[in-house]
Every structure is written in structure tokens, then in C-alpha cells.
A and B are shown apart, each in its own frame.
Chain A
Amino acid sequence: MRWTCAARRIEPVLKVENLSVSFVTRMGTTKAVDDISFTVDKGKITAIIGESGSGKSVACYSLLGLVPQPPGRIDGGRALFHDQDLLQLDPTALRKIRGRDIAMIFQDPMTCLNPYMTIGRQLMEPLLYHKKVSRAQARSRALELLEEVGIRDPVSTIDNYPHQFSGGMRQRVMIAMALINEPELLIADEPTTALDVTIQAQILKLLASLQAKRDIGVLFISHDLAVVADIADQIVVMQQGRIVEAGKRDAIFRNASHPYTQKLLHAIPHGGKPGERPVCEPLVTVRNLCTWFGSRKSPVKAVDDVSFDILRGEVLGLVGESGSGKSTIGRSLLRLVPVTSGEVRFEDTDVTALQGRALKNLRRRMQFIFQDPFASLNPRMTVYDTLAEPLLLHGLESRGTVGAHVLKLMDDVGLARAFVRKYPHEFSGGQRQRIAIGRALATRPEFVVADEPVSALDVTIQAQILALMQELGREYGLTMLFISHDLSVVRQLADRIVVLHKGTIVEQAGTEDLFERPQQAYTRQLLQSIPGRTLLNLDAPLGESTA
């Protein structure tokens, strides 16, 4: 599995050989990283791809001594950084390298900056600690870097706290913080996973340009092949702690030999959904919907004068960045938030006027699937209770007969019947989303709002859940509002797409029309932000979507 760059002599910044890491717990020893070797070259980007639990993060954290030991244990191997073995260094020496020669960027900029400290203080910290500079020097350096990573007006924002920045801006601050000591190696752990597509595209571009300018090595960790397709030089694919395939980017995309790599490639959503559906009359009509929050004087117009139809049997994709009001629309349709004005009709019923029992009856016919299946499932309820509750609540089954129905639901969403007495924490993310789907379908609704149902999941799991939703949609004859920030996911499922920006509709069109002939500048910008366009342009025999 070792590969070298024989053609050109590029010196590696980091050379990892036969690294093995395991976790020792009372339950036994688990090998998290098993005998992996890779290099990061000067001025190049090496991407490590794998699903959560594949050991990719553990491998990188262990290089810097950031894996707590115990329970972590480094079983062997070398990690050469300038001829010193990082794994053999004592904690103090390693600490001096951290943040000075090797810096890190983490996944979630929302939680990775200290909320109690101004960003200026956090930025200056590595400089003050590692180099002998005065506070004034550190501050001016921090201002320079903030400018460079694209923070507008750094002088007036440097003393702000992290919560005053958006997610994308915080990630820029993280990047500035990592680069402030001009490290030779940057480890970026899923730096764009928590961001919107357009922001993701900006951050990737920024990272690539900063990396090229400084000629530093980057180790880029991601679960998403599409994300690294545009920027990586080398790709290392990991599964269950091992490297299954490694090589130059184009080689991986063209001639992936390992089945797991092929599966990852196929899991990248591309192409539209197969087959068209007969067009019917609208099931849900939305007219001039406004949902405002906050005070009367200065309301936050989350949804502002939005009108659209959802036809019976179709999947309508609702696309927008965070803050565009797409989730609020979904919640407004089901009256989960109070509607300010406008009309929502479900068949001939005005949903906004319903009260009490009538509303409850309607809710049986309209269901909601949430983004985070862990947060939306009650941790104290077994799967059985979760699935049985809506059936009993709406009087569809009695205590005696509900069991059979629950088991049927388990079959439908592809969960083993034996799992029925388990609690949510015992399941993986994908399985939890299956439970959530089962709960939503329990009452045999006609209309389902799915709010980012797959964005918390790994790509291969994403593909499975999308396939499941497609299949169940057909089987149950569902009409669906599918909300997502990810255009490529929506493309797979939706018949038509509504693009939302700052609470108003920018464009609505049939899925293929929108992708082929976007009318609005904002839509084009969204489309250009889809990661992995390089990959789609490679004329490799990737095959059609198999999801």
C-alpha cells in the first residue's frame, strides 16, 4: 500500500510509517488504526478519506499527542517530521511543535473557538506562547492574518466574541489561528463539513490558495470524496483502521480498484432521479406565507411572502443556505411555529386556521422527519415505544394489536426486528434516521416534511437513506417537501426545486431545468458551490447513480 513520488523529488514534510493505535477499555482492546503509512509532501495536499469510525481522525490526532492516553495507546510505527519521530517525543517537546510547526483546523467552528474569549486573544495566543513577540506585535500580526483570510474590517471585529461571527467566518478565524505561526504542516479535520455549500466552496478555495501561497503541506481529513476532489493531490482511503487504497487523485477517481473506494465514488450524489411522475393537482398550496419572529417593532422575517404548490405524489425540493428560512417554512406548514400571515391549504383545509382536535387529526396526515435523529428521538424510549406512540396516540391501533404494526414498520425501514427493544443510543446515525422515518410513516401520512434528513450522515449512509426514502415514497404514495442545503442530494430525489434566499423565493423550476438552465445569479452561485465538480468533469467511467 505504500506509494512514492519517484518521478519528481519532492521532500515529504511528514512521513508516517506503520502507525497503529488502539483503545483499551474495560470492554476490551479495539484497534482504531492498523498499520497505516502515508506521506504529506511539501506544498501538497494529502487527503484521508473514510467514514466516521474509520480511524482517520484518530490517526492524525495521535501524531500530535491529542489522543488521550489511556484509553488510547500507540502500538507502534513512526511519524517522521524533520527526522524527529513525533511518536517518541516527550509531551513537552511535542507541545512545542503543536501550534508552531504543525497546526490544526477542526470540524465545527461553532464549538472549536472558546466562547468566553475574544477572537483576538485566541488568535494571539499561539504567537505569544511560541514566539518571543510583544502583545502589540502579536496583535498587528493577528490583524494581518484576519485580513488575509477574508474577515472584513478586522480592526473593529478583532475584539468580538466568537458568537458574533457566522459559521463560515469562524472557520476563517480558525484558519488564521492555525496559520499565525506559519506552520509547515496543517492538519485540517473535516474543516467544511459543518458549513453550507456556498461557504464550503469559499473555505476550500481559501484553504487551497493559502496553502499554495505558503507552500505548506496539508493533511486534509474528510468523509466526503467530492469535497477533496477539487483540491487534493494525494488521496488515502481508510476503512476500519486500515488503508484500503492510496494514490494520486486522478488515479483514484479513474481506476479505483478497491470495492470500498468504488462504493464511496458511487455514493457521491450525481445525476437526477430516474423517471417522471404524472402531474396531479396540488395537495398543499402555500400563498403569501409570512413567518416572523421577535418583537413587533423589528421582526426577524424568517419567511417573507412565499407562495408555492406541492403537487400530490411529488417530491418538492426546498433548497437554501442556513438562515434562508427553509426549515421555518417546513415547520410553518405543519403549524409547528406560529404563522404570521398568509395561507397554507392542505387539500381544502386552511391549516393556519385549525385548532385543537382538527389540528391533531391533520397532523396524523402530515409528518415531520428531523435533521438530527439523535436529538429528535427520546433517549428514554425504546424503538418499540417510539414507533407505537403515534399509532396509539391517534387511535390507529390498540395496545393489543400495535405490536404487529410496529414490526411491519421495522421491516419497511430496513431494521432488524430483533432491535425493537433497544434504545436510540444503541444505534448508529443511519439506523436512528431509519427509526425517525419509521415514526413519521407510522400514521400513514399523505404528506411528509423531511428537514435535512441526511445531512448529519456519512455519504454512504446518506445514499442508503435516500434510497430508502425514495422507495418508501413510492410504496406509501407520499407527497414530500424535502428540505436541504445540499443541491446534489435534492437533485436525486426531487421532481421540482424551490430555491430560497433570505426568506424569499429566488427561483422555482423542474429539477433538471434548474440544473441545466438556472435563471438567477444566486442559483448559479449555489450550483457552482457543489463540491466535486472536477470529479464530474473527469470523463472516468464512474457509472450512473446506483443509489
Chain B
Amino acid sequence: MWRFIGFRVLQSIPVLLVVITVTFFLVRIAPGGPFSGEKAVIPEVKAALEAQYRLNLPMFEQYTAYLGDLARGDLGPSFKYPGRSVNELIAAGFPVTAELGLYALLVAIGIGAIAGVIAALRPNTAQDYVPMSVAMIGICVPSLLMGPILILVFGIYLEWLPVSGWGDMPGDKILPAITLGSTYAAYIARLSRAGMLEVMSQDYIRTARAKGLPEWRVVTGHALRGGMIPVVAFLGPAFAGLLSGSFVVETIFQIPGLGRFYVQAAFNRDYTMILGATVFLATLIVVFNLLSDILAAWMNPRLRSQFGD
């Protein structure tokens, strides 16, 4: 078990290094820079600024210096928010994004797993087609369309829910969570349907029926665990995807999360902020993938016993 985890952690180092390197050079190749605004800056001031942020050094030296800082856990100062470090900005924005991601994940699992299981119990009937068609629509509609639709329906026509903000009004977290979670709910519905369908055709389900167990016991006691393994394996990538993909929803609903800083940083060529957020999210993706792999393996007794020693 520990060997497996250790191996995976080691494996993630080159992955992160590649992400950092590619991002570092890409943002610098992109035209414009952090201080090329509409108003011309006096050359002396610009030079001073560049010196302060090490932009006067050759690019490769900037890169090694950045890696050095990174190894100490320092993501550097923000170019656009003077006096604030990227660490501070992430610390401010991430809890909001994480909360949104968590709610969205709960929405996704709740709706997705239930819809998938229901569909799998009676395949190729209306009970299957209806939730699966909705799931297909869910996958096809991007959140930048889903958000405004939900705002129009529930915020403006029905006036049930607030349309923006985060923690300012009761219920203002509902629409963003649904918007962000809907795509993943659809994926999870399809995954859990496939997983359950496969398990329900297994011989041991027939054994359970032959024991005289009622159908709900067969499903909950015997089928659910095996059927949900693919879903669990997907949760890690899904949560990471929710975090890194939340910027659209954060922008639509005016939520002060990491995603909005990320987008603004990209517009402003805030090199350190872009890099810092990318490194941070990449690390999260690696960690959550690892966690869900461990969890999925743990759910399978066969793999668990291999891990045990």
C-alpha cells in the first residue's frame, strides 16, 4: 500500500515539472506583459518594476529562480496586486472555490448516482431512456449556457433564488452548485448506469435472488458496491475538474473564488499568479486522482489484500 502511494507520489514530480515548465515559457511567449498597459509607463519606472520582479534577468535564470522559490513553497509576488503574494491570493480564493466544488460534487453524485441506478434497474424502458436522455443533455449543455438558463428560470421568472454572490443571501449557493455539478452529474449517471448494468448481469446477483432476497436488498446489498467502483474512480478527476473548471461559473455568478483570479491573471499577464494557480491546481488534480484510485482499490477486497502487505 505505502509502496504504491510512494511510487505514485514520485511519479507526480515529473508531471508537475512538465506542467510548470510549459506554463512558465508559454505565458512569457504570449504577446504583451504585465506592465504593457494602455498608458505608457515611464521607462525608469518600468525598469525598476522589472528589476523588482526579476523580469530583467535572462529567461532561463528567471525560470531557475522561480523553481528555487517554488521548492520553498513560495509562489512569488503578484504582479497586478502589488504587495500581495500569490500564496495569499490562492489562500483567499481557494476556500470559496473548494466549497463550491464540494457542493457541486454532492449535487453530481446525488443526482447522477440515483439516476444511473434507477436507469440500470430497468434497462431499455422509459425508466432508462428518460434519465439517460436528460444526462445526455446535461453533458451537451456547457455551464456557460446552463448558468444563464438557470438564472433566467429560477432567478428572474420564478424569483425563487438569488442570481449572484456567495454567502451574501440565503440560497445564493444553490444555482452555482447546480450549474457546476450538472455536467458531472450526467457523467456519473452514465458511469453508474454502466457499472450497475454490468454488475446486475453477474452470476452472484442470480445467487442473491436464488436466496430469496427482496429485490431492493439485492440491489443495495449485493450490486451497489461493485457497481459504484467506476464512479468512485471517477470522483478524483471529477473533483479536480470541478475546481479547475469553476472559473466560468464563478464569473457568471460573481463568486470571489480562485477561478476568477485565474481568469483575471490571464488577461493581465500576471505571470506569477497564472503559474501559481496552475501549479496549485495541477497538484490538486494529481492528489485527487491518487485518492480516488486508492479508494476504488480499497473497495475491491481482491486489490485490498494485495495492498495489505
Contacts and interface: CB of A to CB of B under 8 A. Distances in A.
A161 B302 CA distance: 8
A98 interface: yes
Contacts of B213: 95, 99, 125-126, 129
B210 A129 contact: no
B124 to A, nearest CB: 11
Interface in B181-238: 202-204, 206-214, 217, 221-222, 225-226
Interface in A77-125: 95-100, 103-104, 106, 108, 111-117, 125
Contacts of A114: 204, 207-208, 222, 226
A130 interface: yes
A163 interface: yes
A40 interface: no
Contacts of A538: none
B203 A98 contact: no
A52 B203 CA distance: 17
B223 to A, nearest CB: 9
B212 A116 contact: no
Contact of B204 (A64, A97, A99, A111): A111
Size class of B's contact patch? 20 to 34
A319 interface: no
Nearest to B207: A112
A129 B221 CA distance: 12
B36 interface: no
Interface string B87-105: 0000000000000000000
A115 B211 contact: no
A125 B218 CA distance: 11
Contact of B211 (A117, A161, A177): A177
Given A114-B222, A116-B299, A126 B204 contact: no
Nearest to B217: A129
B226 A130 contact: no
A108 B302 CA distance: 18
Contacts of A164: 305
Interface in B256-305: 299-302, 305
Contacts of A161: 301-302, 305
Interface string B64-87: 000000000000000000000000
B217 A99 contact: no
Contacts of B208: 114, 125
Given A116-B301, A163-B301, A95 B212 contact: yes
Contact of B210 (A98, A115, A117): A98
A28 B206 CA distance: 26
Contacts of B299: 116
A24 interface: no
Contact of B302 (A104, A129, A163, A174): A163
A113 B205 CA distance: 9
Interface string A207-233: 000000000000000000000000000
Contacts of B221: 117, 125
A66 interface: yes
Interface string A122-165: 00011001100000000000000000000000000000010110
Contacts of A106: 203, 206-207, 210
A120 B190 CA distance: 33
Nearest to B214: A95
Given A129-B217, A161-B301, A164-B305, A112 B206 contact: yes
Nearest to B229: A116
A99 B301 contact: no
B225 A112 contact: no
Nearest to B204: A114
Contacts of B301: 115-116, 161, 163
A97 B213 CA distance: 10
A129 B211 contact: yes
Contact of A111 (B203, B209, B214, B225): B203
A100 B203 contact: no
Contact of A64 (B210, B214, B226, B305): B210
Given A113-B207, A114-B204, A97 B305 contact: no
The winner among B209, B211, B301 for most chain A CB atoms within 10 A is B211
B212 A111 contact: no
Given A96-B212, A98-B211, A117 B222 contact: yes
The winner among B204, B208, B222, B299 for most chain A CB atoms within 10 A is B204
Interface string A456-478: 00000000000000000000000
A90 to B, nearest CB: 13
A99 B300 CA distance: 27
Contacts of A115: 204, 226, 300-302
Contacts of B207: 104, 106, 112-114, 174, 177
Contact of A66 (B206, B225, B300): B206
A104 B211 CA distance: 8
A164 B304 CA distance: 12
Contacts of B302: 115, 161, 163
A317 B299 CA distance: 43
B289 to A, nearest CB: 23
Interface string A356-398: 0000000000000000000000000000000000000000000
A21 B211 CA distance: 23
Contacts of B222: 114, 116-117
A112 B210 CA distance: 11
Contacts of A100: 212
Contacts of A163: 301-302, 305
B120 to A, nearest CB: 14
A118 to B, nearest CB: 8
Nearest to B303: A163
Contacts of A108: 203
B303 to A, nearest CB: 10
Nearest to B210: A104
A112 B208 CA distance: 9
B212 A130 contact: yes
The winner among B209, B210, B214, B221 for most chain A CB atoms within 10 A is B210
14 contacts: A64-B210, A66-B209, A98-B212, A104-B207, A106-B206, A112-B207, A113-B207, A115-B226, A115-B300, A116-B300, A125-B211, A126-B212, A161-B305, A163-B302
Given A111-B204, A129-B217, A161-B301, 13 more contacts: A66-B206, A66-B210, A95-B212, A95-B214, A99-B213, A103-B210, A108-B203, A113-B207, A114-B226, A115-B226, A116-B222, A126-B211, A129-B211
- Nearest 10 Cβ contacts at the A-B interface: A99-B212, A98-B212, A99-B211, A161-B301, A111-B203, A104-B210, A114-B204, A126-B211, A112-B203, A116-B225
